Amino acid sequence: MKYGYTFEYLNEIDFHKKERSVRKYNMLAYKKLVFQYYPSLRNSEFLGKVVSANEQEDSVSYELELPTDELFQKVHGVIRLHYTVYLSRRIILLTNITPDQILDEGHRAELSTYKGVMISKSNPKKDMFKVDLLNMLQK
Please list the pLDDT of the chain residue by residue as tens digits (139 residues).
356 899 999 999 999 999 998 998 888 999 999 999 999 999 999 999 999 999 999 999 999 999 988 888 888 889 999 999 999 999 999 999 998 888 877 666 777 777 777 787 777 888 888 888 888 888 7
In this prediction the pTM is: 0.81
Residue 97's DSSP bridge partners are 81
Note whether 64 and 37 are within 8 A (CB). yes
Give the other-Cβ count within 10 Å of 43's Cβ.
11
Instruction: Output DSSP code: residue 35.
Output: I
